[in-house]
Amino acid sequence: MSLRTISGEQNPGEKGNCTPFCSPERVKRAIHFGKPDHVPVSHAVLPAAQIKYGPALAEILAEFRDDFGWDYAADLPLAEFPPQYKPGLNRDDFGTVWRVETAGICGIPVGFPIPDLGRYDEFRWPADFAAGPPAGRQYGGHMSGFDDRWYARGGWFTYFEQLQQLVGMESLFVHLASEPPALIRLMDDLLAFNLRWLDRWLALDYAGIHFGDDWGGQTSLLIRPAQWRRLFKPRYDEMFRRVKAAGRDVWFHSDGFINDIAGDLIEIGVDVLNFQVAVTGHDWAARNVRGRIAVRTDIDRQAILPFGSPAEVREEVARTFDSCGTADGGIIACGEIGPDVPLSNIRALYESFRDCGAGLA
C-alpha cells in the first residue's frame, strides 16, 4: 500500500479514501518513529457533543483539521443512529438490547442473546456481518464519532466486550471463575467470527484496523493478569497476526488501569495504544511505554477536560506529550470530546495539540 508523501502541508490520501486534509504519511511517520513534520491529530468527538454544540463545535473542528478525514455528522437523523447511540431500547445485529438514555452517548446492554450457555446452540451469528462490511457512515465504537476514511475505525473490533454483550457482564465474570467448556467454545467461535470479519475489512484499502476492549478498572485489571494471558492474549495474538500479515497497523484502545498487560499488547504486535494516561500514571507511561509503541493520547476526561480550566487542559496536554512521545514521533494527538466538556476547553485542547505538536516533532 502506497501513501502519498507530504512536506509540511496536509495532502489527500490515495484512492479517494481521504478528504483534502488527510495526512497518511504524517500518521505513518508518527506511528513508526519516522520523524513526522508535526504530531498528527485525531478527532474523537461523541455525537452527543455534536448535538449539543452544533455550529460552535463545527467551527473549532474546521479550524483544527485532523489527519484522518474525520466526518462531522451532527445532522445525522436520530433514526439512523446505531442501536448503541439511539435513544430508548434498541436491538443490535447480534441480538443484544441496548438502553440509551442520551442520544449520542453509548448506552448499556440490558438484554442478551445468550443468557444461558446451556442454550448456546440456539444462537445464530449475524449473517450480514459475515457477508461483508456495512455500507455508509458507521460509528466507530463507543469512543468516538464516525469511521476514519483510511484507518478502519468503522471496522472497530471488540472481543472481551462482545462476550459481555452476548452473555451479560455479570454472567461472563461468573463463567470466567470456573471456565466451563461452553465458555471456551463461545470464545473460540467469536474468534472465528472476528477473523472472518477481519478478512472482509482487510480486503479494503485501509492502512490499519482498530480494536477496542476496556480491560482496566480504576486501580487494577478486571481479571487476573495470568488468566488474561492464558485465555485472551493468544486470541488477540491470532487476530493481530492476521492484520500484520496483511501489512496493516494494529490500533488498540483500552480504558482503565491496564499497566499489567501493556507490555503483552506491545509483544503481540499492537502499533498504536490508546489508554488513559491519567489512570495508568504519567510516570509509568514514561518508563514503560514511551519509545516502545505509538500512543493515541487520551487527555484526562475524568477531571481535567470536563472540570478543569483551559490552562489546566494545556498543562495536561504538555504533560501527556512529554510522558508518551519522543522527538522521533510516537504520538497521535487525541482527546475525547463529550457533551460535558466546555467549548473553551475544547479550543484549549486543540490549540495545545497544535503548539505542543509543533514543538515535539
Run means of pLDDT, 10 residues per run, the chain, 361 residues:
24 39 86 95 93 94 88 70 92 95 95 96 81 40 36 72 97 97 98 92 87 97 98 98 96 98 98 98 98 98 98 98 96 97 98 87 58
Q: How far apart are CA 86 and CA 147, in angstroms?
A: 17
| Amino acid code (one letter) for 344 | S
Q: Is residue 100 part of a domain?
A: no
Q: How far apart are CA 184 and CA 334, in angstroms?
A: 36
At 155 the pLDDT is 60
Within 8 A by CB and 6+ apart from 318, the residues are 352, 356
At 78 the pLDDT is 79
Domain count, the chain: 1
* CATH, residue 303: 3.20.20.210
Q: Is residue 206 part of a domain?
A: yes
| Residue 109 exposed, middle or buried by CB count within 10 Å (0-12, 13-18, 19+) | buried
Q: Is residue 177 part of a domain?
A: yes
Q: Is residue 243 part of a domain?
A: yes
Grid cell locating 5 = 508523501
At 127 the pLDDT is 82
Q: Is residue 108 part of a domain?
A: no
Question: Of 242, 189, 16, which is closest to residue 24 (Cα–Cα)?
Answer: 16
Neighbours of 358 (CB within 10 A): 11
At 136 the pLDDT is 32
Within 8 A by CB and 6+ apart from 69, the residues are 13, 17, 18, 19, 21, 22, 148, 149, 150
At 19 the pLDDT is 45
Range of the domain at 186: 14-82+115-360
